[in-house]
């Protein structure tokens, strides 16, 4: 396993997160050399100003947390976020479309966001909300994401009925192989959980307790 910090997207997406807390998250991310911060779209420009010159990437969320915004709105959100300085877009799949059997509509929704993000050189991670899907649906959602040009498939928003589970990550890895990277997020509170998800195939971890996990890793 490479250095743990290279896996971690330090995340703060609470509704009551303040500008001061976002700024502190960015400074902490530079200290620990996290891969990215994952923050609300309204604070992307703040993060850009703080992180300028560092290697920490800026990720933000689109269509979050439900995924059911109109496609044009998601695409505009993504384009605006990239213009503000986002390097990575974590978008929520239209789970309602997917569960309704409207897989082409769900796929095209993702494609529009990927296209909008690509105009500014940003990559897209697609959140499929695994806690709402059975194993067959997880596999089908992964196959759908592979058709869109996205860079990652991601387990969870952390705002639904469950978070990242190692077994779901294993199913995702079996399905996508090396065609997509995998981000696990939601409920990763300690080093044991982080290690289990990495062993299952996760390339990135979205973690609101990133500093605590790093300190545990340093002491291990």
Q: Mark whether 183 is an active-site residue.
A: yes
Residue 203 token pair: 């390339």
**Mean pLDDT for all residues in the chain:** 97
Q: Mark whether 90 is an active-site residue.
A: yes
C-alpha neighbours within 13 Å on the C-beta side of residue 74: 28
Give me the CATH number covering residue 160.
Answer: 3.20.20.70
User: How many CB atoms lie under 10 A from the CB of residue 178?
Assistant: 6
pLDDT 10s digits, 129-163: 999 999 999 999 999 999 999 999 999 999 999 99
Q: How many domains does the chain have?
A: 1
- Range of the structural domain that residue 211 is part of: 4-219
- Which of 90, 109, 168, 203 is catalytic? The answer is 90
CA separation for the pair 157, 196 (Å, rounded): 19
Section 16-31 average pLDDT: 98
pLDDT 10s digits, 36-91: 999 999 999 999 999 999 999 999 999 999 999 999 999 999 999 999 999 999 99
- Which of 74, 154, 173, 181 is catalytic? The answer is 154
User: How many CB atoms lie under 10 A from the CB of residue 15?
Assistant: 6
Q: Mark whether 74 is an active-site residue.
A: no
- Which of 74, 125, 181, 183 is catalytic? The answer is 183
Q: Are 63 and 98 in contact (CB under 8 A)?
A: no
3-state secondary structure of 1: coil
């Amino acid at each position: 396993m490479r250095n743990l910090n290279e896996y971690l997207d330090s995340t703060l997406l609470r509704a009551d997160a303040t500008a001061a807390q976002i700024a502190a998250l960015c400074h902490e991310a530079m200290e620990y050399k996290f891969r990215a911060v994952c923050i609300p779209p309204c604070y992307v420009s703040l993060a850009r100003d703080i992180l300028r010159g560092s290697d920490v990437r800026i990720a933000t969320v689109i269509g979050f947390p439900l995924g059911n915004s109109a496609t044009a709105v998601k695409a505009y959100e993504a384009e605006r976020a990239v213009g503000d300085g986002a390097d990575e877009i974590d978008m929520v799949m239209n789970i309602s479309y997917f569960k309704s059997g409207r897989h082409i509509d769900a796929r095209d929704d993702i494609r529009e966001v990927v296209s909008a993000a690509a105009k500014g050189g940003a990559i897209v991670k697609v959140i499929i909300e695994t806690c709402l899907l059975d194993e067959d649906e997880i596999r089908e959602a992964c196959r759908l994401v592979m058709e869109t040009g996205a860079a990652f498939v991601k387990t969870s928003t952390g705002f639904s009925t469950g978070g990242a589970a190692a077994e779901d990550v294993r199913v995702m890895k079996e399905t996508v192989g090396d065609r997509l990277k995998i981000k696990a997020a939601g409920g990763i509170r300690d080093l044991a959980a982080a290690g289990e998800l990495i062993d299952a195939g996760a390339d990135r971890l979205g973690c609101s307790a990133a500093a605590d996990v790093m300190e545990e890793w340093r002491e291990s």
